[in-house]
């Protein structure tokens, strides 16, 4: 009984401490409870990033490719609704996927880049992942998986992780690898990703192109994209939603328009081994 009361008391303290942290989400403009500060969020991402990158083969050892991905990502960061220390990198894994970690760290795998045919498709992926960060989906997802009390504890460790505490923070990378977004999160990330890539000067139909290609490949080669679809659910409904957003919010965008940067993209993709 005493133990139960103690735990309940601790939870009340946590809730009371963070009750003043009700803030406006920079992307959705909705009021929501912020369980950790932005500084703690950034610390979490920085601490978990090295182990996370290692899990996917590390960064592709080609500076030209890395700079190219960074340059496209930087355009998304500039127009994002949330100012963060965004970083964009290409990971060596041949498993098609893309990720967004707290701290503004965005990754796309070589396997996913190999599936693309132009730069606006790359912009759509980086815009989508940037939107996850802008809308705080990454932190919300970790919170759902780990629980508020554990997340708050680890966030505290991340601010000055050493020794045993550093090891606890490192374990967070495993949770991030398996981080699953809700369908609502995916719809929102598509919506704001479309907005960001359009603000950056890209044809928003690139998002629909990529989603359609991924869906088609999953049907022709079942299992190839299993890992990606576990963390980023893809359904025909999601494709329809993205297409509807482009048609309603960007009616002048031409679906048949050729991507002027496709040639440069294909040159960069050819550097992948």
State the burial class of residue 272 (Cβ atoms within 10 Å of its Cβ: 0-12, 13-18, 19+): middle
Residue 95, phi then psi, degrees to nearest 5: -80, 120
Which pLDDT score is estimated for 221?
62
Which pLDDT score is estimated for 42?
86
Which pLDDT score is estimated for 9?
39
Which pLDDT score is estimated for 147?
60
pLDDT digits (tens, 9 = 90+) for 179-234: 677 788 889 999 999 999 999 999 999 999 999 988 876 565 655 555 555 556 67
Instruction: Give the CA count within 13 Å in the CB-facing half-sphere of 117.
Output: 11
User: How far is Cα 63 from Cα 38, in angstroms, rounded to an integer?
Assistant: 30
Pairing verdict, β 105-109 and 98-101: antiparallel
- Region of residue 185 (phi > 0: left; psi between -120 and 50: alpha; otherwise: beta): alpha
Q: Tell me, yes or no, if the pTM score tops 0.85.
A: no
> Nearest-CA neighbor of 136 among 49, 237, 247, 27?
27
What would the two tokens of residue 219 be? 């049907």
Whether 180 and 230 have beta carbons less than 8 Å apart is answered as yes
Which pLDDT score is estimated for 12?
40
CA–CA distances in Å: residue 173 to residues 155, 170, 230, 257: 13, 6, 17, 40
Whether 197 and 207 have beta carbons less than 8 Å apart is answered as yes
Which pLDDT score is estimated for 11?
45
Please tell me whether residue 173 adopts helix, strand or coil conformation: helix
Whether 233 and 181 have beta carbons less than 8 Å apart is answered as yes
pLDDT digits (tens, 9 = 90+) for 145-165: 666 555 556 555 555 544 455
For tokens 């070589």, name the residue.
Answer: 110
DSSP 59: B
Which pLDDT score is estimated for 227?
55
What would the two tokens of residue 207 be? 């998002």
User: How far is Cα 39 from Cα 26, in angstroms, rounded to an integer?
Assistant: 16
Mean pLDDT by runs of 10 across the 273 residues of the chain is: 43 42 79 77 84 93 98 98 96 92 92 96 97 88 64 58 51 63 87 98 97 75 58 76 96 96 97 90
Q: Which residues contact 174 (CB under 8 A, 6 or more apart)?
A: 51
């Amino acid at each position: 009984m005493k133990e139960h009361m103690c735990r309940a008391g601790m939870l009340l303290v946590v809730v009371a401490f963070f009750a003043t942290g009700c803030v406006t989400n920079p992307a959705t403009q909705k009021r929501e409870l912020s369980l950790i500060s932005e500084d703690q969020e950034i610390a979490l991402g920085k601490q978990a990033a090295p182990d996370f990158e290692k899990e996917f083969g590390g960064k592709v050892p080609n500076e030209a490719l890395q700079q190219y991905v960074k340059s496209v990502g930087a355009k998304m960061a500039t127009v994002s609704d949330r100012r963060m220390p965004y970083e964009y990198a290409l990971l060596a894994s041949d498993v098609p996927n893309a990720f967004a970690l707290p701290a503004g760290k965005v990754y796309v795998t070589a396997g996913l880049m190999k599936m693309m045919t132009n730069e606006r498709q790359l912009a759509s992926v980086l815009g989508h992942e940037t939107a996850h960060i802008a809308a705080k989906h990454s932190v919300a997802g970790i919170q759902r998986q780990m629980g508020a009390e554990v997340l708050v504890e680890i966030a505290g460790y991340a601010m000055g992780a050493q020794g045993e505490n550093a090891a606890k923070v490192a374990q967070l990378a495993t949770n991030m690898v398996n981080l699953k977004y809700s369908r609502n999160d995916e719809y929102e990330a598509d919506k704001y990703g479309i907005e960001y890539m359009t603000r950056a000067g890209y044809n928003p139909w690139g998002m629909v192109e990529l989603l359609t290609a991924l869906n088609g490949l999953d049907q022709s080669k079942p299992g190839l994209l299993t890992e990606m679809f576990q963390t980023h659910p893809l359904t025909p409904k999601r494709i329809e939603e993205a297409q509807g957003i482009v048609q309603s919010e960007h009616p002048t965008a031409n679906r048949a328009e050729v991507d002027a940067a496709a040639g440069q993209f294909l040159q960069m993709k050819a550097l992948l081994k």
